[in-house]
Structure 1
């Protein structure tokens, strides 16, 4: 009733005041130029497939037994809402099928959505050294994945008590991998992002995409440090706070495009510290290359329970994203990172 609504307004007027500290200066709010969004999605081409949402569920989990339900929920959401999924590290199923069902999601996600396998740079380096790249080809083929994500994680491997030692610069391993097979490849970090020199080398390769996994979200180097003894934690803790944010990386890529001209890699997955739809909208709008935005921990939180919880979360995120697309444009005067 109108009377109840007006009473609510009076009671909430003081509580609803906003301050300058919370002001989001990334956007210009334009209330006059669009109607409310209507239901419906506009498909666009990304990673060779038509997707309906500029969203990506970043590589997270697998090989633990309990991960199967999580991945099933995520794959089902990808199918329903039209976006892509990267698996967690598939190392455990390279030569042992015990946990195969945790990763085997093609039937659930369906044939039309991007679905990518994942291996670490240390495992790729070892397989190439043994001239066993066929194991990678078999993994991707048996999963019916669209290609391989290679996660580059030298700090995580160094801090991990069971970690492998990387014997050559990862860029050399990636170039060798691409010279020996014709699988589509995505390269990503694991929570600390990459500087301009690394991005420049990757942009010059015919990669399917670069995924940022930037500083500001789940940081696997820090995660591994938490598993170390206190002396090691104290020694290496400063490394947990170095890296590049997603906004810094977008701006780096934009600058590099002016320097190198037409890159061979022309698609980005912007992830790392993306907390919600406004972060994703801002970063993908800022990017001069076609981009989707990735979220990991927020999705994982809702994917651990029943599917309806995850569905509701993603549905609300995408509705809010459409609202942002209608009324917000980038603020040209904003220069924050």
Structure 2
């Protein structure tokens, strides 16, 4: 959910491991010092079922090396937590990517995907950008915490209206092993946990990464419902966009909303709709597709920031023809769009289509 320039900070082509497509995974790390083994003892105390893969339980899955690839290419910050009630302590040391650590994250991701009938390829990119699939990723500026990088507002949204308890009841009534594993390990959650002092509630093991992944699911579903409701309510305003708002495009917008916020997404959509009307154009799915090459426009705006205002004024005056929604968003400071596209391109170059779908 953070607003940093994620690609430049977290993705480095020089750190990409050699890919052996004949194997499902890379070698696990073995760290000699305690500086990077700080999660190992708590993970080792978890029941064995959380530390071995359950591919036969899942409807669909991605290779383990997809998770390892994201973890190795994350250059963000981390925090250590004694328990879920403690205050996060910033550390420069990333956790050791041992067999247990990697399998725990892999299982949590797939159990949530399987329990709620989600496609792991459609969520992979979000976690790679936000946290690199690290349990204790931490943004020291915004206090975004854990594998889902929850902010205070994000946690408030999820825990309001008794949503956690109601969704957990559905978990308990499910016959799927994946749902059972989620419910058994995430623990209770105090409403005061959204304070900065309690951010460890989204980081600490053994409750996490399952708790954070579960909360991410609820947050995503709420964004999807809100987007659908807003489009229907503001149909007259967004009439020029309606034919292009396919399920795939809506999924991309929810992706973007996780960083930008739903209010920001609505503002961008209304602005782009007004732009298309001024051009006497009806938007197509291709116009709204965020998966476009934005390197050039991003490079220009970085080198010459003053051009952002020039371009924004040109849009208002109807002087820029055939502008895509992605380009419109980047010009209006939604640079996360370009980050998503660049990350997808990078993953595709290194691992093909086996990890993500955008």
- Provide TM-score, normalisation by structure 1: 0.26
User: Larger % of helix: which?
Assistant: 2
TM-score, reference length from structure 2: 0.25
